[in-house]
Amino acid sequence: MILPILAERLKYLREQRNFKLKEVATAVGITPSAVGSLEHGRRPISIITLIKMAKFYGVSTDWLLGLTGNPERN
């Protein structure tokens, strides 16, 4: 199952910080088209990519997945 909240939050973070798809892709080791697919909910995210995204943006994986309203990492 692809979580709409994950897609929404990934896109929000990228746009809020003015990153291009290519910048995010390079940082987490996937292609720009894969980043776009994640942001549109067309592709499931691997655990490794989820962790890399959370580290890159400085947020918790729980927040990315919609399990908490607090984006801060513990």
For 3-61, write each residue's pLDDT tens digit: 899 999 999 999 999 999 999 999 999 999 999 999 999 999 999 999 999 999 999 99
Determine whether 64 is exposed, middle or buried from the number of CB atoms within 10 Å of its CB (0-12, 13-18, 19+): buried
pLDDT bucket at 73, cuts 50 / 70 / 90: confident
- What is the amino acid identity at position 71? P
